[in-house]
Structures are given as structure tokens and as C-alpha cells.
Amino acid sequence: MILIFGDVIIDRYVYGTKLGVSAETPTIVAEYQGEEKFLGGAGLVLRHIMACGYKDTNLLTVCDESQYDTLYSLFNGEYIKKVDFIKKSDWKITSKQRMYVDSYKMLQYDVRNTKIYSEEDLSNVTAIIEDKVKRFKPEIVVISDNAHGVVVKHISNFLINNQSKYGYAVFVDAQWSQSRPKYNLYNGADSIFVNEKEFYALMEDFGGYDAWLNNCKSNIIIKKGPFGAMAYYRTFKETLEEHNFISCPTDTIDVVDTCGAGDAFLAAYCANLKLGQQGALEAATKYATRCCTVKGTKTFEEEFNK
């Protein structure tokens, strides 16, 4: 069983085609063609894990009760049974509106959560997470941290420090978007997922390459975009070798949209660990690459499981 905890994001894509330039200002005028809404962040991780055929999955996130209807409409079908909300007043679900003109993203508007937990909130959220862990007995706990307030140090420490007690492995994806995470705060998680830019930040947080190599207790999975993926395992389970680097190339494709590719990679890796670390890395690379061939944060259940 996989338990996901983190920020859910509402991704809205608005499409248009160029008509010309405004006479008043140097502004592109476009004809509206339509729009789509998807669930991003932890919601997208859930969708991708299930699309990869792993149905024993549950998502836990925080939101205001007034947003339940919007989220339920997006968590439709089989997903709705896999989601639990922790109610907190005035807690906004982050939304991102991307404006496209002829396949080019011209502008993005974000509505971000600005609320923070009180001490009472932290105690309540941690207790709810612990209850979930005790009841569901997950093999993997995914921390999907998009820096919108749901994941904080107190909660991540609780999950990381209780891996042995409850018998799960913590996988962390802390994305560097508008704000930069402190990656050494996740030291001790089973695995930390980063892109190349984030990997250099991670090494910086540990004090350089040698300090990272000597002091980091986590496996590091590095997403390299068109160059595939690479992983540094403290212990490579297939051979029990220590300090093992493995890599995986990717196919050459016509990239349409890379938004959500990191979430797709994380999800496919989790769903395919039965293949071993090398097999999971290869499956994740293949799946994330496929997800870059269409616009929007879509899953490819038919493609992956055919």
C-alpha cells in the first residue's frame, strides 16, 4: 500500500490562437479555444500511481471545507475513494492557470495558500497521519512537497523518524519552484527525488560533494530530462553493494509539455518497485517520457499497461 501526503494543486489550461496585436498596447490578442482542468501536485502523483496499475493507494491532504465540491469534481471516478481531506478553515488549495497561445505558454497566474499551521493544527494533522499509518500499514509513504504549506518540518520529521517503527519507506519529492527547499531537512528518508538543478542545491545544503557523500543517509534519484535518470543508492539491493550509481537513458521524443513529468516519474517508480531498483528506474523514465508528448498533466494508463 502507498500513502501520499502533500499539496494538491488545481492546474487549469486555457488555450487560444493568435489573432494579432492590440492597437492600444503591444499585447497579443488571441481567440479563446477552450480550457481543461487537471489535478496536480500530490493529486497528480495519485493519478499516475493508479494509472500504472497500483490501485492500493491513498492520498491525504489539507483544505477548507468550501473547496470539497471542486476537488470531488476533479477526483472523479475511482480516485474519489482514494482521497481523504483534513479540514482546516481558510486553507486554500493552490491553483495555477496557464495561458497558451498556439502551443506557447504566454502567462501563468497562481492562487497560493498563505495560511500556516497552529501548534494545535500540527498536533491534529500528525495524529491523523499516524492513525492512517497504523490502520493501512503502507509499504511506502510519499511526501509530495510543492511548498504550499501542507508539508512542514514537524510532519516530515515525524514520517522520516518513524520509518523503522511502522515499517514503511519514505519517498520525498520536494520541488524547487518559486521557493527553494532545504533538502538536508529530508535526510534519513529512504529516497529523495530531485532534478539536476535540485541535486546541486542538495549537495550545497550538505556542504559540498564530499560532505553529501559522507553524510547523506538517503538514496538520491535524479531526473535528468532528455538524458534519462540516474540514481545513487546507499545500498543497491540487487547486489547489496554500497555507494552504487546506476543510470538509465530515455527515448528521443517530440516534447510537447514537461509540466508534471516529475510527478509522473515519482509515481511510476513507486508503482514498479517490484521490478527492483534498476527496473523501477527504467519504468519511471519510460513513463515520464511518454507523459511529455501531450499538453496537460495527463496519465497514460492504456499505454503503460497494454
What pLDDT score was predicted for residue 209? 87
Given a cut of 90, whether residue 67 has pLDDT beyond it is no
Cα 265 to Cα 27, 110, 127, 134, distances in angstroms:
37, 24, 30, 27
Q: In terms of Cα–Cα distance, which of 130, 139, 131 is closest to 162?
A: 130
Is 264 part of a structural domain of the chain?
yes
Is 99 part of a structural domain of the chain?
no
Q: Which of 62-71, 211-220, 272-281 has the lowest mean pLDDT?
A: 62-71
Considering its fold, how many domains does the chain have in total? 1
Whole-model pTM: value is 0.89
Given a cut of 70, whether residue 301 has pLDDT beyond it is no
CA torsion angle for 59, 62, 66, 72 (degrees, to 10)? -10
Given a cut of 80, whether residue 304 has pLDDT beyond it is no
Is 27 part of a structural domain of the chain?
no
What pLDDT score was predicted for residue 303? 43
Q: Which of 112-116, 236-240, 281-285, 286-290 has the lowest mean pLDDT?
A: 236-240
**What is the C-alpha to C-alpha distance for residues 183 and 276, in angstroms, rounded to an integer?**
25
Average of per-residue pLDDT across 167-191? 90
Q: Which of 170-179, 217-226, 240-249 has the lowest mean pLDDT?
A: 240-249
Q: In terms of Cα–Cα distance, which of 205, 219, 235, 240 is closest to 170?
A: 219
What pLDDT score was predicted for residue 246? 86
Residues 6+ apart with CB under 8 A from 130: 158, 162
Q: Which residue has the cell 481567440?
A: 31
The average confidence (pLDDT) of the chain is 88
Using a 10 angstrom Cβ sphere, with 0-12 exposed, 13-18 middle and 19 or more buried, the burial of residue 259 is buried
Residues 6+ apart with CB under 8 A from 182: 205
Is 197 part of a structural domain of the chain?
yes
Amino acid at 286: K
Given a cut of 80, whether residue 235 has pLDDT beyond it is no
Rg (CA), the chain: 20
Is 232 part of a structural domain of the chain?
yes
Q: Which of 54-63, 230-239, 260-269 has the lowest mean pLDDT?
A: 230-239
Is 104 part of a structural domain of the chain?
no
What pLDDT score was predicted for residue 291? 87
What pLDDT score was predicted for residue 83? 87
Give the residue ranges of DSSP H helices in the chain.
Answer: 42-51, 68-74, 119-136, 153-161, 163-166, 196-206, 209-215, 261-271, 276-291, 301-305
Higher pLDDT, 162 or 64: 162
What pLDDT score was predicted for residue 34? 94
Q: How confident is the model at residue 305 (pLDDT cuts 50, 70, 90)?
A: very low
Average of per-residue pLDDT across 223-250? 79
Is 254 part of a structural domain of the chain?
yes
Is 84 part of a structural domain of the chain?
yes
The CATH number of the domain holding residue 45 is: 3.40.1190.20
Q: Which residue has the cell 529530508?
A: 186
Given a cut of 70, whether residue 188 has pLDDT beyond it is yes
252-268 pLDDT, tens digit per residue, is 888 888 888 999 999 99
Average of per-residue pLDDT across 231-242? 69
What residue numbers bound the domain in which 214 lies?
A: 2-8+40-92+115-305
Given a cut of 70, whether residue 238 has pLDDT beyond it is no
Q: Which residue has the cell 482521497?
A: 83
Given a cut of 90, whether residue 77 has pLDDT beyond it is no
